[in-house]
């Protein structure tokens, strides 16, 4: 069965520091990969997605992610954290089906002033 | 502006009550989903629907049912609410393609007392 692993349920960084949120997936073929963000008391919104056009994907709010097939990873990064980045981040995989997403457990990003 | 609207942000219900959670989307999407979100568990799929009157069980369908009589509306029903169904419920919709973005509602925080 497909699975998605997000390392660290909580990640804490200082404002201005590099943000790195890790995501690994299990799949025998390259899937579609997504990062979503959830701000407090809100639904999820798409940050970025990988659909095989390019391995480095740029998203909203300065985030980007790199697809590494050899490592089955799709880590999310941002060069300089801002207080407004405090949220929960979810990695998701769409294997090859036309409707089902498989979700990681989420990582809460905490920004220290 | 595309929208998925859930009928309530907060609900408090008593054990044994029948509970209806409503979700409406205005994007003419074929696929609609109900998820449950609990801390540390990510999003777990309860039911999804890929067409009017069609439904498929997700990972945790026990204690829930759904109804999709119109394309834009997908209802989640708790037949007899129990305290272990206290959770955040998220509705989402997508086009029928693996690489498409999922649009989420704001969520309904249900407390069963």
pLDDT higher than threshold 70 for residue A83: yes
Optimal mutation site among B102, B103, B107, interface A, most CBs of chain A within 10 A? B102
- Asked if B99 and A94 come within 8 Å (Cβ–Cβ), the reply is yes
Chain A (51-70) residues lying within 8 Å, Cβ to Cβ, of chain B? 51
Contact present, A62 and A79 (Cβ < 8 Å): yes
User: Which pair of structure tokens corresponds to residue A21?
Assistant: 């949120």
pLDDT at B111: 98
Output the average pLDDT for chain A: 90
pLDDT at B41: 87
| pLDDT interval class at A42 (50, 70, 90) | confident
Distance (Å, rounded) from C-alpha B6 to C-alpha B74?
10
Q: How many distinct helices (H) and strands (E) make up chain B?
A: 0, 11
Contact present, A50 and A38 (Cβ < 8 Å): no
Distance (Å, rounded) from C-alpha B66 to C-alpha B48?
8
Using CA coordinates, name the residue in chain B closest to A40: B106
- What are the b/e assignments for B94-103, b being 16+ CB within 10 Å? bbeebbbbbb
| pLDDT interval class at A97 (50, 70, 90) | low
pLDDT at A111: 97
Mean pLDDT, rounded, for A64-70: 92
- Asked if B42 and A103 come within 8 Å (Cβ–Cβ), the reply is yes
B45 CB within 8 Å of a chain A CB: yes
pLDDT higher than threshold 80 for residue B104: yes
Nearest to A97 among B98, B101, B106 (CB): B98
Distance, CA of A97 to chain centre: 20
pLDDT at A63: 97
A42 CB within 8 Å of a chain B CB: yes
Give the phi and the psi of residue A40 in degrees, each rounded to 5.
-50, 130
């Amino acid at each position: 069965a497909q699975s998605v692993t997000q390392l660290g349920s909580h990640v804490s960084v200082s404002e201005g520091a590099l943000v790195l949120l890790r995501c690994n997936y299990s799949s025998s073929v390259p899937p579609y990969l997504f990062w979503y963000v959830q701000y407090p008391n809100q639904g999820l919104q798409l940050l970025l997605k990988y659909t095989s056009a390019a391995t480095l994907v740029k998203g909203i709010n300065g985030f980007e992610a790199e697809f590494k097939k050899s490592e089955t990873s799709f880590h999310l990064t941002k060069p300089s954290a801002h207080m407004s980045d405090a949220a929960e981040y979810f990695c998701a995989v769409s294997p090859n089906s036309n409707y089902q997403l498989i979700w990681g457990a989420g990582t809460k990003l905490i920004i220290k002033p | 502006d595309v929208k998925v609207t859930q009928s309530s942000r907060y609900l408090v219900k008593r054990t044994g009550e029948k509970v209806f959670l409503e979700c409406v989307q205005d994007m003419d999407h074929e696929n609609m989903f109900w998820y449950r979100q609990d801390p540390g568990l990510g999003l777990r799929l309860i039911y999804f629907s890929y067409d009017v009157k069609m439904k498929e069980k997700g990972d945790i369908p026990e204690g829930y049912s759904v109804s999709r009589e119109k394309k834009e509306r997908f209802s989640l029903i708790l037949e007899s609410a129990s305290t272990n169904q206290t959770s955040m419920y998220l509705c989402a919709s997508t086009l029928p393609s693996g690489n498409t973005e999922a649009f989420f509602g704001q969520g309904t925080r249900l407390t069963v007392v």
